Structure 1
Amino acid sequence: MTTMQEQLNQQNDPADVEKNKVMGILAYIIFFIPLIAAKDSRFAMFHANQGLVLFLAAVAVNIVGSIIPVLGWFFILTLGNLLIFVFAILGIINAAKGEMKPLPLIGSIKILK
């Protein structure tokens, strides 16, 4: 039995991965760059989707954290944004290694096709 990650990595085109590693990395900083520059790349689009989901999670954390006074400011904003930062670093590492590995907790959400 293979995991989702193994299935994704088996379907990688090595030339596509090598050509679009930078786009995969940029997807976690500014998710829409690969949507414009590498829309035909399966690798870049996977990481653009992960970057978009991460961005939406960051927006949600910041909205919820600002609505809830005191506890939200100290706990939700601090811990939530730290978690978002860690997930972004994990995504950048995966893209740099040429892997299509979903992020923990939110990686299974598909917005882009």
Structure 2
Amino acid sequence: MSDFQPPPYPQNDSKDVQDNKVMAILAYIIFFIPLLAARNSPFAMYHANQGLTLFLVAVAANLVFSIIPFLGLLLPFVSLAIFAFMIIGIVNASKGERKPLPLMGNVQLLK
């Protein structure tokens, strides 16, 4: 076994992180707020992208699991997982980190 550790996720300018931490946290609650208020912040835009991706996954999951009856039994579990991903994103944003969300974090919708 080797002691290889993958490089840490890229961090932003510490001033940008401190100035826009609240915007990054709000991105997981209402993703478009950072799009309007912190458009020039790479940190806030990264988390806005994560929030938008999570929102679209939540909408798609709710549509699919609501339409297909036997899959509807899984809707509470999927909703709980989406809520857990939201909490993970909020915690990462409050720590000033740019960690991708599990399963969907590498999707880039915003530039």
TM-score, structure 1 as length reference: 0.90
Distance 1:8 1:79 in 2: 32
Q: Deviation per CA, 1:15-53: give whole Å up to 9, x if none.
A: 000000000000000000000000000000000000000
Q: Give the corresponding residue for 2:73.
A: 74
Alignment partner of 2:30: what SS? coil
1:94 aligns with 2:92: yes
Q: Give the corresponding residue for 1:61.
A: 61
- Give the 5 Å matches for 1:1-113: 2-3=6-7, 6-9=8-11, 12-69=12-69, 71-75=70-74, 77-113=75-111
Q: Over the residues paired in the alignment, what is the CA RMSD in angstroms?
A: 1.1
Structure 2: tracts of 5 or more residues without a match: none
Q: Deviation per CA, 1:41-73: give whole Å up to 9, x if none.
A: 00000000000000000001101101111x222
Task: For residue 79 of structure 1, report the CA deviation from its aligned partner.
Answer: 1.2
Number of equivalenced pairs: 107
Distance 2:58 2:18 in 1: 29
Aligned-residue sequence identity (percent) comes to: 60
Distance 2:6 2:71 in 1: 40
